């Protein structure tokens, strides 16, 4: 099921959008504040973003730019002012589409469906789509960043996936917390190396049958962690 993030501070509009999209079978999440939306949109996987422009905190233009830096996920901007449209066209923000208020909810649903279908075709045509790696009961798809354990999909955050991806690509090598922090997190990351064991724990909870007896990500006492092939 496609996950959609709606960022909209007007509750009635957000709920109307959500109701119509849910009726069409989408899984919908709402954020009303730009700062919270930025944090959530960058840390959780979404299949589409619907961004209002005027928001408390970070505005929709900035959200669009930040999300586009990180992902090709379709972005639909929602504008209340005609002046915004020139800006959307001129700024090169990387938005896929825009819609102006007031709009009919069925128009919104039609646009969302069209963009998701186009994006699916784009992803499907990429050669890396076939880059599926299976080891024992764990399957990882490099293209979609999806992970399955015993055939059931596990939802990893972007960071959790990046950590798993790094370890999988360096199998049987032991890495210290410091090394993993340096490799997987960049200088601009908030937090410190203690975020590494926290993320290891979360990844284990998602990819291990029994997180207390891991078969994939082993702890090498006093040294660090390794992904066991
Ligand atoms: Ca607004």
- Output the CA 14–ligand 1 centroid distance in Å: 10
For the chain, the helix, strand and coil percentages under 3-state DSSP, each to the nearest 5: 45, 20, 35
Task: Give pTM, 2 decimals.
Answer: 0.57
- Output the CA 60–ligand 1 centroid distance in Å: 9
Q: What is the DSSP string of 96-108?
A: SEEEESS--HHHH
* C-alpha separations of 118 from 18, 21, 22, 109, 153 in Å: 21, 18, 20, 14, 23
The values of phi and psi at residue 117, to 5°, are -65, -40
Helix or strand holding residue 145 (H, E): none
Q: State pLDDT tens for residues 171-202.
A: 778 899 998 998 898 766 667 888 999 999 99
Q: What is the pLDDT of residue 28?
A: 97
Q: Which of 73, 25, 29, 26 is closest to 48 using CA atoms?
A: 73
- Output the CA 51–ligand 1 centroid distance in Å: 9
Q: What is the pLDDT of residue 90?
A: 63
What is the Cα–Cα distance from 160 to 128, expressed in whole angstroms?
Answer: 20
> What is the chain's pLDDT, residue by residue, as a tens digit (229 residues)?
889 999 999 999 999 999 999 999 999 999 999 999 999 998 888 999 999 999 999 999 999 999 988 777 899 999 988 888 877 776 778 888 999 999 999 999 999 999 999 887 776 655 444 577 788 889 898 888 899 998 899 999 999 999 999 998 887 788 999 989 988 987 666 678 889 999 999 999 999 999 999 999 999 888 899 998 7
- Output the CA 59–ligand 1 centroid distance in Å: 9
6, 28 Cβ separation under 8 angstroms: yes
What is the Cα–Cα distance from 144 to 124, expressed in whole angstroms?
Answer: 10
What is the Cα–Cα distance from 49 to 74, expressed in whole angstroms?
Answer: 6
- Output the CA 32–ligand 1 centroid distance in Å: 9
- Output the CA 137–ligand 1 centroid distance in Å: 46
* C-alpha separations of 121 from 5, 44, 114 in Å: 21, 22, 11
105, 17 Cβ separation under 8 angstroms: yes
- Output the CA 214–ligand 1 centroid distance in Å: 46
- Output the CA 78–ligand 1 centroid distance in Å: 9
Q: Which residues pair with 7 in a beta bridge?
A: 31, 51
Name every residue whose Cβ is closer than 8 Å to that of residue 112 and which is 6 or more positions away in sequence: 4, 21, 24, 26, 48, 50, 76
- Output the CA 40–ligand 1 centroid distance in Å: 18
* Structural tokens at position 9: 């501070």
Phi/psi zone of residue 31: left (φ > 0), alpha (ψ -120 to 50 degrees), beta?
beta
């Amino acid at each position: 099921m496609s996950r959609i993030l709606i960022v909209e501070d007007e509750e009635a509009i957000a709920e109307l959008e959500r109701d119509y999209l849910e009726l069409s079978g989408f899984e919908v999440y709402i954020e009303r504040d730009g700062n919270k939306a930025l944090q959530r949109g960058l840390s959780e996987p979404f299949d589409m973003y619907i961004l209002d422009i005027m928001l408390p905190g970070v505005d929709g233009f900035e959200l669009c730019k930040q999300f586009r830096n990180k992902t090709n996920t379709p972005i639909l901007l929602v504008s209340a002012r005609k002046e915004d449209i020139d800006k959307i066209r001129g700024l090169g923000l990387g938005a896929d589409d825009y819609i102006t208020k007031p709009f009919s909810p069925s128009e919104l649903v039609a646009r969302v469906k069209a963009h998701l279908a186009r994006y699916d075709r784009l992803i499907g045509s990429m050669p890396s789509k076939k880059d599926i790696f299976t080891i024992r009961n764990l399957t990882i798809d490099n293209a979609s960043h999806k992970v399955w354990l015993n055939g059931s999909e596990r939802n990893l955050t972007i960071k959790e996936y990046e950590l798993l991806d790094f370890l999988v690509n360096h199998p049987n090598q032991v890495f210290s917390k410091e090394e993993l922090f340096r490799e997987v997190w960049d200088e601009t990351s908030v937090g410190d190396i203690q975020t590494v064991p926290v993320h290891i724990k979360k990844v284990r909870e998602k990819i291990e049958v029994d997180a207390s007896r891991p078969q994939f990500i082993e702890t090498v006492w006093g040294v660090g962690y390794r992904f066991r092939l």
